């Protein structure tokens, strides 16, 4: 687990903009579990953070100075130069916020990469369809809570898992048919068996470890597993062993990992589909907000002890 002394808040000197760049006052910053992986000096799908250089990540803010004709001062934008209050970014690294009547931070959550992860992981990777029984772990988290709601909107039976009574209640209020408190007394594999009497057709994995093992134990023939994340292992020093892994063979389970960036070419499809669900009026867009740049490491570390309901955000 990272510690506070791994982080440092530093003032850097201002610099002039070059042609094609904009200066952005950030208003909302995203903290995400994948950032933990970037703290390991290993090759992965995103490069590791560099020591003594600013961290980065998703952010939403407003252009306050511009040398890019199509991004005038006042434009509200989403970009990847987070973990700072002010950013200089080339125009090509910036997305204008769409003209939708939602708070701007929604574009770091349900209407942004978080929502896209849920949408494509469930519908494209796991090929979930009406009538399927879907199990989703970290169901009270940013991605998980959107998965629950998409699955319900599309006629699936949903089993979620979350840590603690309050989160369990909240996931139920999102429409989940059964919710397991994985921190409760009943072992997860037993609790899932009791919730999924007819087995599961889809597992949306945010956690790995015991959750993945329990899903293997109760998977139906031809079940599809979308492996989105394995937060249980991000700070672990020991690999987990899976007791039920061999069920992959007998039950012909298809296990597919994915990265949301695989679906960047299909943003329009996501915006259309998710827009319809949000416009339906029942969608719960929950967020946990920590105030102040200096508290960003706290917000980030809080992801690993379940401090958030819905999307964890930092407000400046
Ligand atoms: P969340 O909002 O879900 O935050 C993390 C949550 O995970 C916590 O609130 C906590 O909830 C739960 N958690 C933390 N540690 C454990 C543990 N050891 N065992 C079980 N649950 C735990 O984060 P996101 O929605 O942003 O991300 C969810 C997952 O999706 C992550 O694994 C992330 O890496 C992955 N991801 C993958 C993407 C991709 O492209 N493949 C894109 C975005 C996210 P609780 O209180 O219930 O324990």
Tell me: the pLDDT tens digits for 81-95? Answer: 999 999 999 999 999
Average pLDDT for 283-297: 97
Number of H helices, E strands in the chain: 9, 13
Q: Is the dihedral of CA 110, 117, 264, 56 positive or negative?
A: positive
Instruction: Say what the pLDDT of residue 182 is.
Output: 98
Instruction: Say what the pLDDT of residue 273 is.
Output: 96
Residue 240 has pLDDT above 90, yes or no: no
Tokens of 153: 């909107």
Ligand 1 midpoint to CA 206 (Å):
5
Tell me: the pLDDT tens digits for 99-133? Answer: 888 899 999 999 999 999 999 999 999 999 999 99
Residue 239 has pLDDT above 90, yes or no: no
Ligand 1 midpoint to CA 144 (Å):
8
Predicted-complex ipTM score: 0.99
**Which residue has a Cα nearest atom 8 of ligand 1?**
306
Average pLDDT for 199-222: 98
| Cα-based distances in Å from 191 to 105, 113, 151, 316 | 35, 31, 21, 41
Phi, psi of 41 (to 5 degrees): -85, 65
Ligand 1 midpoint to CA 103 (Å):
23
Instruction: Say what the pLDDT of residue 191 is.
Output: 98
**Distance (Å, whole) CA 236 – CA 67:** 45
Average pLDDT for 47-58: 95
Ligand 1 midpoint to CA 69 (Å):
39
pTM metric for this prediction: 0.97
Ligand 1 atom nearest to 139, measured from its CA:
47
Average pLDDT for 77-82: 97
User: Rounded mean pLDDT of the chain?
Assistant: 96
Instruction: Say what the pLDDT of residue 100 is.
Output: 81
Instruction: Say what the pLDDT of residue 308 is.
Output: 98
CB of 228 closer than 6 A to ligand 1? yes
Average pLDDT for 3-13: 95
Contacts of 313 (CB under 8 A, 6+ apart): 28, 29, 30, 31, 105, 108, 109, 287, 288, 289, 290, 299
CB of 21 closer than 6 A to ligand 1? no
Average pLDDT for 131-156: 98
Domain boundaries in the chain?
4-109+285-315, 113-261
Q: Kindly report the CATH number that applies to the domain delimited by 113-261.
A: 3.40.50.720
Least confident range from 41-45, 98-102, 177-181, 272-276: namely 98-102
Least confident range from 99-103, 176-180, 215-219, 249-253: namely 99-103
Q: What is the dihedral of CA 203, 306, 308, 4, to 10 degrees?
A: -130
| Cα-based distances in Å from 176 to 52, 123, 134, 168, 290 | 44, 17, 10, 10, 27
The DSSP bridge pattern shows strands 76-79 and 94-96 to be antiparallel
Tokens of 85: 């209050």
pLDDT category, 206, cuts 50, 70, 90?
very high
- Architecture per CATH, domain 4-109+285-315, reads as Alpha-Beta Complex (3.90)
Average pLDDT for 274-291: 94
**Distance (Å, whole) CA 32 – CA 300:** 7
């Amino acid at each position: 687990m990272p510690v506070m002394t791994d982080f440092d808040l530093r003032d850097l000197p201002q610099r002039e903009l070059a042609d094609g760049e904009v200066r952005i006052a950030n208003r909302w910053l995203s903290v995400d579990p994948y950032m933990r992986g970037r703290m390991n000096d290993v090759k992965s799908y995103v490069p590791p953070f560099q020591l003594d250089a600013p961290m980065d990540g998703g952010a939403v803010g407003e252009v306050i100075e511009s040398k890019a004709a199509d991004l005038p001062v006042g434009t509200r934008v989403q970009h990847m130069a987070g973990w700072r209050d002010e950013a200089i970014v080339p125009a090509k690294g910036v997305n204008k916020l769409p003209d939708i009547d939602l708070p701007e931070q929604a574009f770091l959550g349900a209407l942004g990469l978080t929502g896209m992860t849920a949408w494509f992981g469930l519908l494209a990777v796991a090929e979930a369809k009406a009538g399927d029984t879907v199990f989703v772990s970290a169901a009270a988290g940013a991605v998980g809570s959107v998965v629950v709601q998409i699955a319900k909107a599309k006629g699936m039976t949903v089993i979620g898992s979350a840590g603690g009574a309050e989160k369990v209640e909240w996931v139920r209020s999102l429409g989940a048919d059964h919710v397991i408190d994985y921190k409760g007394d009943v072992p997860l594999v037993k609790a899932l068996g009791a919730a999924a009497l007819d087995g599961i057709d889809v597992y949306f994995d945010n956690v790995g470890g015991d959750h993945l093992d329990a899903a293997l134990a109760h998977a139906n023939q031809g079940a599809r597993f979308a492996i989105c994340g394995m937060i249980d292992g991000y700070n672990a020093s020991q690999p987990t062993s899976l007791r039920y892994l061999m069920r992959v063979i007998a039950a012909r389970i298809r296990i597919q990992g994915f990265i949301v960036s695989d679906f960047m070419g299909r943003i329009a499809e996501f915006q259309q589909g998710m827009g319809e669900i949000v416009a339906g009026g029942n969608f719960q867009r929950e967020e946990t907000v920590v105030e102040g740049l200096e508290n960003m490491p706290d917000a980030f570390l809080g992801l690993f002890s379940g401090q958030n309901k819905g999307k964890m955000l930092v407000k400046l």
